[in-house]
Chains A and B, each alone.
Chain A
Amino acid sequence: MEQTLFQKYGGFSKVSRMVLDLYNRLLDDDDIGPFFDDVDMARIVDHQTKFISSLLGGPASYSDDQISRMHQHLEINARHFDILSKILAETLADHGMSPEDVEAVVNSFEDRRKLIVG
């Protein structure tokens, strides 16, 4: 069976660090951060864990419908998406992910752009 990026980069023990780092960076960002202003901490962490896990082929997967529904009530524009894409790429690279793998993850993130940017 082909190894997923989730397994390649050390499973949950390593990926959990990427998740918390991404969480910190997103909250600190004044463009993306406000989306989480009134959201409970546990829910943001849950969101990030599932987000990273699904991008890396971990134990979470979402159908396009689910993704679309979950972001429907948010006014996310192209600039927000670009910023998140950039922060995601930086975070993954800082945690030792190879440039090709970062590109693959960011591409698969980009594939969902039309589901999220309303």
Chain B
Amino acid sequence: MSIEAINEQLLRAIGVGVALLDLNELTFRFHNDTFSEWFGEPDPAARLSDLFAALDVEALRRALTADGRYATETTFKVKRRTMTVAMDFNRALASGEPIAVLVCQNITRIKELESMIDSYSMMVERNTREIKREKEQVEKLLLNMMPRPVYEEYKTFGVVTPRLYDPVSVLTLDFCGFGGMVSTLDPGVIVSELNDIYSAFDRIGEQFGCERIKTIGDAYITVSGMPDPAPEHALSVANAAVRFLRYLNQRNDSHPIQWQCRIGISTGAVIGSVVGVQKYIYDVFGPAVTRALRIRGHTEPMTVCADSAIAELIGSRFSRVSMGMFDLGGGNRHEIFRTEAIADQPKVYGLSS
């Protein structure tokens, strides 16, 4: 067998569709077996556009004249299977006549894989979005339970080391007659009212650099000076305290249910830690917390009381009126003071300030 004959056999049998086109008429001069298997046996007089109706013949001519090559794809169905074939036209010259070599490659498998990757990546993206959303919800929940730096420590190490914060200032608040309200009002109403009030306290506290630690029923505890130290911790809680009262007064003017609170503030050291293994909660303990709670117990409705330590720190901007000596823990008696912001007091004209 001659080399030419072998070449022709190879060309016919190869798994790539090959055809030679007369560029003047766009008719077929030659095609191999694979080509006719895919596209049918072209008539001797058949033109390129008869076989490929969707082919842009003008674009083909322009590209072949300009660049000498043109590439496109064609899709057709064999039985129910979609086949995609990549077509490459290359201009050539045979005995001075313009011809083009058309090479067709079956890229069905690639197209199927592309579709599968699209489909799969869409599933994965959707899952990733869902996981991210869940993660954000968990984070939000945990940030409600502990300050952000504590949460970061918990996330990184899985545990939180108890830490001493000194000095900080503590504000504790409760509502007068809460027991009576619980027995007379609808529980749903109580919860929704408390939610409203505590949310307002949180916002006010945040403005003054206070971190709400917890609420237990009608008791609310917030601290300034932790987890990051704050030089103005005492002023922060004192300012928050008078604004809590102001907020409640305003709210009582326009709401049917009246809330009367008592606020105790103190300063000193606290220990902050996550407590519990299964149901963990971030909490603070220490002399400042105990004193603030005791002070609150001796406070009149809708007033703020402070011990001498914090009263010293908030000095000039708050007035103080002694309420007497009380046991604030440890058996020693301490003087406590009713405290008001100077700006809140009724002005007495004619007196020099």
Give me the interface of A with B, judged by CB distance under 8 Å: 12, 16, 19-20, 23, 27, 33-34, 36-37, 40-42, 45-46, 48-50, 53, 58-60
| 7 A-B interface contacts by CB (under 8 A) | A20-B109, A20-B113, A41-B82, A46-B118, A46-B119, A50-B123, A60-B123
Q: Is the CB of A49 within 8 A of B119?
A: yes
Min C-beta distance of B85 to chain A, whole Å: 13
Which residue of the partner chain, among A12, A16, A36, A42, contacts B80 with CB atoms under 8 Å? Answer: A36
Q: Is the CB of B112 within 8 A of A49?
A: no
B127 touches A (CB below 8 Å):
yes
B46 touches A (CB below 8 Å):
no
Can you list the 3 inter-chain pairs with the closest CB atoms, starting with the nearest?
A41-B82, A46-B119, A45-B115
Q: Is the CB of A34 within 8 A of B80?
A: yes
Bound Cα distance A23, B112 (Å): 10
Give me the interface of B with A, judged by CB distance under 8 Å: 79-82, 109, 111-113, 115-120, 123-124, 126-127
A19 closest partner in B (C-beta): B116
Min C-beta distance of B77 to chain A, whole Å: 9
Bound Cα distance A105, B119 (Å): 21
Min C-beta distance of A4 to chain B, whole Å: 13
Bound Cα distance A54, B113 (Å): 19
B81 closest partner in A (C-beta): A27
Which residue of the partner chain, among B115, B118, B123, contacts A53 with CB atoms under 8 Å? Answer: B123
* Residues of B close to A12: CB separation below 8 A: 120
* Residues of B close to A60: CB separation below 8 A: 123
Bound Cα distance A12, B79 (Å): 29
Bound Cα distance A60, B115 (Å): 16
Q: Is the CB of A40 within 8 A of B82?
A: yes
A39 closest partner in B (C-beta): B80
Min C-beta distance of A49 to chain B, whole Å: 4
Q: Is the CB of B123 within 8 A of A16?
A: no
* Residues of B close to A53: CB separation below 8 A: 120, 123
